Structure 1
Amino acid sequence: MIALPGLLSALAGTALVLAVQLLLLPVLDARRTLWRVLLLGAAVILAWRYMAWRFTDTLAPLGFTVDAFASWSFAILEAGTVVSSTIAFAILTRVRDRSREADANLAWWGAAAPPPRVDVYIATYNEEESVLERTLVGAKLIRHPATRVFVLDDGRRDWLADLCARHGVGYLRRPDNAHAKAGNLNHALSERLAASDAPDFVAILDADFVPHPHFVGRALALFHDPAVGLVQTPQHFFNPDPVQHNLGISTAYPDEQRHFFDNVEPARDAWGIAVCCGTSSMVRVSALEAIGGFPTQSVTEDFLLSLKLAENGLSTVYLNEPLTEGLAPEGLKEYIVQRGRWCLGMMEIVRKVYNPLARNGLPLRHRLSIVDSLLYWTTTFPFRMAGLVFPLLYWWLGVTVVDATVHDVLVYYLPYYLLTIAVLNWISRGLFIPVVNDVAQLLAAWPIMRATASGLLTKGPHRFSVTAKGGDRTRTVVQWPMMRPFLVLFALTVGGLVATLNSDFLFNNAAAAGDGMVVVLFWTIYNLFVLLVAIAACIERPREDRPMRQEARAVTIAGLSGAQPGWLVDLGVAGAQVSGPSGFAAGEPARLDLPTIGSVEAVVDAPTGDGVRLRLEPTPSQREAIIALLHTADAAPGTGRGDLVQMARELARALSS
């Protein structure tokens, strides 16, 4: 055990970090480069101080032993993550906001010139009508006057052609599916370039992304600079992703991509290395012609598009405004498939197109951008898996992976870890919450590791799956194939603890093990919490197809006994919930008077404790108006910042239910 004077000295660094977190960070402006450099720089210094200690004091002597192999391989994995975070932190030291630039250049082409022609391409393959309907309603409300909307149907569905005709938008299909989405976009572009109203710019939307009315106008404003080839805007989601939903934390913990779009892309833009992310982007047609169209050498044609533009002297810039909103993957399978595809595409780029160490026309900063992304995919996920597996070597085989005293852990690791979490949460408004962040990465770790190996080590072509959207989400589904590895690891961890703590090992070897056993015990307890949450995340709860952004509105509901006022607390295209009215019976016909929409026919689904739940029967025009009300407001849907206290409360409820 540590004596009190030793404990106090060991905690001195931690006390300083806590003082910075509690006293300085709340009053510092996270947008200022100076504070970012100082705080992120301090985190990097502590990280490398920690790694120096790891390699000099905590590893087994080199040799052909299990201890040496385990301790050195884990330390090398950990060092890889520190290299990755060092580059990432360097990028985060600057940030750029282009909203004022967009304000100043909304009509840069001049009053005497016609506005640029913009095509909006909605790429689709197998999405349902309800998914596409939202996007079409939003696209029809785009306010730029010279805009044409086209649905690019790689599923060759006649019903979709009819849907487009009803909504008055263009419909294009091609005879094959060569090169997937990139091929679909190239086919549409070639068709449209031959037309008399050929576009000057092309905006890209996935089938499940609804544009807000100002999407085209705001993005177009940044093309006042002729060197800009592409403008990317953020991707926000009107439904919780599977981790948020399955753990019941959607009101306290943002979606997994929020950090990238709110913090990483603005920082990349400040360094001139913002990247295209596919949907919610706009590209200059002359730039596409200069590089031969949308690139097809990778399944992530978006990132590759930015690199191709950079090689030709054209920049990608980022406008951090909520100009679209989309449907996050609703199931764990889709969530994991999507991330595996992103990783595979990055590996294809490195192997086949832009090796950052090879001779090509990429500027240095874009090479570093590729290295940053490559390290993220190749180090983060293997390290997360190793963090669960390596403690088992101690409990089952007596192998010490980290030979450290508690005193040294408090001196070297704790200040580094706490400052890193504090600074990242200061920058991101609370998006980095231990355990939950680990779970989000662990769920996709094995598929990502497999995609990394496949993309880097094999020539391809590589098969991939399109992220499915829609479908029946009304049942509880246990994803046993995904849960099973976590159940096995949990059982092995608990079994190792029980077997060891109930054997002579603890008593006969405690002196020899020293503090190393205490360190691995705390590590193991943390892993048990992570595994419990990962297991809970594999239970997919029923969900309704309704947006997270809901505002209480005063409404009137009329039934057989007359009209009553109430508050609309939940609204979807097919249903609503009203608080306040009473006396309604299930099956009773009703009318709901919605502001700006009118009187909507309804049937009482069921009375609730404080009101009534309705099944709506809107007319086609009312249905469109409801979609527009729910999905085209100039604001970001969902949760934009983390709330640790609320998240802990909701997570405890999810684990106990």
Structure 2
Amino acid sequence: MLVLDQYLSSLAGLAVVAGLALLLLPHATPKVGWIRVLLLGLTIFLGWRYMLWRLTETVPGNGLTMDSVAGWAFVTVEALSLVSSTLAYLVLMRRKDRHEEADRNLGWWGSTPPRVDLYIATYNEELEVLERTLAGAQALDYPNVRVFVLDDGRREWLAEVCRRYGAEHRTRPTNDHAKAGNINYTLFQRLKDEDAPDFVAVLDADFVPHRNFVRRAVALFHDPKVGLVQTPQHFFNPDPIQHNLYIASAYPDEQRFFFDHLEPARDAWGVAVCCGTSSMVRVSALREIGGLPTESVTEDFLLTIRLDSHGYRTVYLNEPLTEGLAPEGLHEYVVQRGRWCLGMMEIVRNVYNPLGFNRLRFMQRLSLLDSLLFWTTTFPFRLIALVCPLLYWFFGIVVVNASVPDIASYYLPYYAAVLVSLNWISGGLIWPVLNDVSQLIAAWPITRAVAMGLLTKGPHKFRVTAKGGDRTKTVVQWPMMKPFAILFALTLLGLVLPLLFPDRFGHVAKAGDGIRVILFWTLYNLLVLAITMLVCVERPRVNRPQRESVELAMLSVGTQRLSSWVLELGVDHARVRGLAGLPAGALGTIALTGVGDVAIRIAAETKDGYRLSLRPTPEQRDGILRKLHTAEARPGAGRGDLPEMIRGWMRRLVSG
């Protein structure tokens, strides 16, 4: 009974968190500021209560014992990670929404709209990727915009494509300074022209502007101190984690928390950041700072800081004004995140040290420190958390000396507060296992990039994120899977060996109550590693990219005119529901709103309709691209759905 009472009393903190959640959250929205402050403040308090306990009561041994060294190494990284989390929680206590501000200032310029250049930076993207972006740029509803394709690949065929879409094709003699140098080259040329732009909008080659992108972004430049307007990045295709786990419709892309919640919060504190594509910058401010900075491979973040040091603010308009192609391959996904990390380390080492002597505002210093701690602690901590149980199973090294009631008393309330507060704020974007998988998959390349960026001056080479290409086959990313498979095997072996050879692993039997903590930690690691390995088996992507679309359309096949629902639409295919009795191979047309009558062939029957092969004219093809990608709507899932995620995992396991 005494033991039971001890366990029950240890759950008091968890009960308090659960009670507050049930009392406050069912009838409140995340816009209620005092509840945000209360929940996040409680999370910070419980986090540092936990950390104080960790530092004072759970690090084993004294002196230079293996237990002590390993224990202090682990808790140091954990404490730094909590510092990073604390800064994020403080930032999330506020939020800025500029939707109404943009509405009020849509015509601040009077009778003459400002001149806007739209720069589409490209290097090696294929035609399928570029024509989407150009079709979207062609449909912009702003009256005074010129579109430039900045081609560092110097491809002759692209010049002809640009002429077809009314865009101007620009090249330069060298590829110095990558994307930043590419934009600067054309910008400085344009500054010599009589119709030099007032503002420059920037898109990556795989990002399609919605019709209202330029109009809405320009509206926020009514304030002469606004130097840059950033808009969110949305993706019309699933990223590798979503796709490989069958959860694209149930779990938003990995960047949603940043763009939908962290950037609006940073904007409220005056530290919103430029993210490159889907942004617009004031040309006079760019001229003042000498163009886009070139000292880092993440010139966008550095641009924000440099503008700020000259008195210009970066603001954030949280509206779906563009949509792009997420990295389709796992290798490209990891390379992209490694490049982001490397660029941040270059900024901290070579340009703006948050603790150094420079012109940074206090909030910019905190912003830089937050980003530095995020990259340098989050991902190494994920790796260390996999290794620590192995130290115990194989060598008897105890890293955390704690009992189950202690863990329940100190860690569970903090963990519950994190899940409750962040999921309430974000609408269900924080799921323990999936968040760990998304961090683990890139943990080693990012840790390596941290070391390279901080310890070597550079300049550093980097690879452009590849988009497009053949994705129609199953690909096992063996080099990426190998370390996870080794860790999985070692972790499993650590569980089995004490059972087979109890005499050689006597430390396990002597561990007492702490063995339950290590056992749970080990089983959790096995689950995370298993799902991470599953992600490394890349499923084919057929008929991509595509967007689920539901609209009523009329099919004409022979003498028959049939009404059906279009469930899926691409430039060369569609899936329709509600039809029967049509022969495979039959020819006809489908009337698509905003496109016209598109020639079709019945490709195959499905359980509720048919798959169609589309044969559009070039004009109709552009119309389909605009229909798919330029509407004022956001693509992709907006919130997490746990039951649907579990069903997706089950389908993935069954399909292999």
Fold shared, TM-score > 0.5 on shorter chain: yes
Give the match for residue 641 of structure 2.
643
Give the match for residue 494 of structure 1.
492
Tell me the percent identity: 61
CA drift of 1:548 comes to 5.9
Give the match for residue 94 of structure 1.
94
Give the match for residue 27 of structure 2.
27
CA drift of 1:583 comes to 2.4
Scaled by the length of structure 1, the TM-score of the pair is: 0.98
SS of 2:163's partner is helix
RMSD (Å), alpha carbons? 1.5
Stretch of structure 1 that moved more, 545-554 or 225-234:
545-554
Once the two structures are superposed, residues 224-280 of structure 1 have per-residue CA deviations (whole angstroms, 9 ceiling, x without a partner) of 101100000000000101100001111111000000000110000000000000000
Listed as ranges, the matches of 1:148-187 within 5 Å are: 148-187=146-185
Scaled by the length of structure 2, the TM-score of the pair is: 0.98
Given that 1:91 and 1:271 are in contact with CA atoms closer than 8 Å, whether structure 2 keeps it comes out as yes
CA drift of 1:503 comes to 3.1
Give the match for residue 299 of structure 1.
297
SS of 2:510's partner is helix
> What amino acid sits opposite 2:218 in the alignment?
L
Give the match for residue 40 of structure 2.
40
Aligned residues: 655
Give the match for residue 244 of structure 1.
242
Once the two structures are superposed, residues 72-97 of structure 1 have per-residue CA deviations (whole angstroms, 9 ceiling, x without a partner) of 11111111110100111111110000
Given that 2:40 and 2:421 are in contact with CA atoms closer than 8 Å, whether structure 1 keeps it comes out as yes
Flag the 1:268–1:548 CA change in 2: closer, same or farther, 3 A: farther
> What amino acid sits opposite 2:76 in the alignment?
I
Listed as ranges, the matches of 1:272-311 within 5 Å are: 272-311=270-309
Give the match for residue 85 of structure 2.
85
Q: How many angstroms apart in 2 are the aligned matches of 1:592 and 1:21?
A: 51
Structure 2 residue 510 is matched with structure 1 residue 512 = yes
User: Of 452, 455, 458, which aligns to 2:453?
Assistant: 455
CA drift of 1:33 comes to 2.5
Once the two structures are superposed, residues 402-458 of structure 1 have per-residue CA deviations (whole angstroms, 9 ceiling, x without a partner) of 110111011001111111111010111100001110000111001101111001100
Q: How many angstroms apart in 2 are the aligned matches of 1:115 and 1:611?
A: 48
User: Of 191, 204, 212, which aligns to 1:206?
Assistant: 204
> What amino acid sits opposite 2:642 in the alignment?
L
CA drift of 1:505 comes to 5.6
> What amino acid sits opposite 1:632 in the alignment?
T
Flag the 1:489–1:574 CA change in 2: closer, same or farther, 3 A: same
User: Of 378, 390, 393, which aligns to 2:388?
Assistant: 390
Q: How many angstroms apart in 2 are the aligned matches of 1:262 and 1:439?
A: 21
User: Of 441, 456, 465, which aligns to 1:443?
Assistant: 441
Give the match for residue 50 of structure 1.
50
Given that 1:2 and 1:407 are in contact with CA atoms closer than 8 Å, whether structure 2 keeps it comes out as no
Given that 2:547 and 2:569 are in contact with CA atoms closer than 8 Å, whether structure 1 keeps it comes out as no
Q: How many angstroms apart in 2 are the aligned matches of 1:477 and 1:561?
A: 45
SS of 1:27's partner is coil
Structure 2 residue runs without a partner (length 5+): none
Give the match for residue 557 of structure 2.
559
Flag the 1:272–1:157 CA change in 2: closer, same or farther, 3 A: same
Give the match for residue 629 of structure 2.
631
Structure 2 residue 334 is matched with structure 1 residue 352 = no
Structure 2 residue 12 is matched with structure 1 residue 12 = yes
Stretch of structure 1 that moved more, 519-528 or 357-366:
357-366
Once the two structures are superposed, residues 487-520 of structure 1 have per-residue CA deviations (whole angstroms, 9 ceiling, x without a partner) of 1111111111011233326995566311111100
Give the match for residue 267 of structure 2.
269
> What amino acid sits opposite 1:498 in the alignment?
V
> What amino acid sits opposite 1:89 in the alignment?
Y
Given that 1:548 and 1:637 are in contact with CA atoms closer than 8 Å, whether structure 2 keeps it comes out as no
> What amino acid sits opposite 1:522 in the alignment?
F
Give the match for residue 414 of structure 1.
412
> What amino acid sits opposite 1:602 in the alignment?
I
User: Of 426, 429, 439, which aligns to 2:424?
Assistant: 426
Give the match for residue 361 of structure 2.
363
Q: How many angstroms apart in 1 are the aligned matches of 2:348 and 2:355?
A: 9
Q: How many angstroms apart in 2 are the aligned matches of 1:412 and 1:342?
A: 35
SS of 2:25's partner is helix
Give the match for residue 585 of structure 1.
583
Once the two structures are superposed, residues 598-626 of structure 1 have per-residue CA deviations (whole angstroms, 9 ceiling, x without a partner) of 21112222111221111111001111111
CA drift of 1:653 comes to 2.4
SS of 2:280's partner is strand
Stretch of structure 1 that moved more, 627-636 or 586-595:
586-595
User: Of 345, 361, 375, which aligns to 1:377?
Assistant: 375
> What amino acid sits opposite 1:375 in the alignment?
L
Given that 1:567 and 1:580 are in contact with CA atoms closer than 8 Å, whether structure 2 keeps it comes out as yes
Flag the 1:181–1:344 CA change in 2: closer, same or farther, 3 A: same
CA drift of 1:287 comes to 0.2
Q: How many angstroms apart in 2 are the aligned matches of 1:506 and 1:408?
A: 29
Given that 2:62 and 2:68 are in contact with CA atoms closer than 8 Å, whether structure 1 keeps it comes out as yes
Give the match for residue 122 of structure 1.
120
Flag the 1:362–1:509 CA change in 2: closer, same or farther, 3 A: closer
Structure 1 residue runs without a partner (length 5+): none
Once the two structures are superposed, residues 308-332 of structure 1 have per-residue CA deviations (whole angstroms, 9 ceiling, x without a partner) of 0011011000000000000000000
Q: How many angstroms apart in 1 are the aligned matches of 2:160 and 2:618?
A: 15
SS of 2:564's partner is strand
Q: How many angstroms apart in 2 are the aligned matches of 1:213 and 1:647?
A: 33
Structure 2 residue 470 is matched with structure 1 residue 472 = yes
Given that 1:547 and 1:630 are in contact with CA atoms closer than 8 Å, whether structure 2 keeps it comes out as no
Given that 1:210 and 1:325 are in contact with CA atoms closer than 8 Å, whether structure 2 keeps it comes out as yes
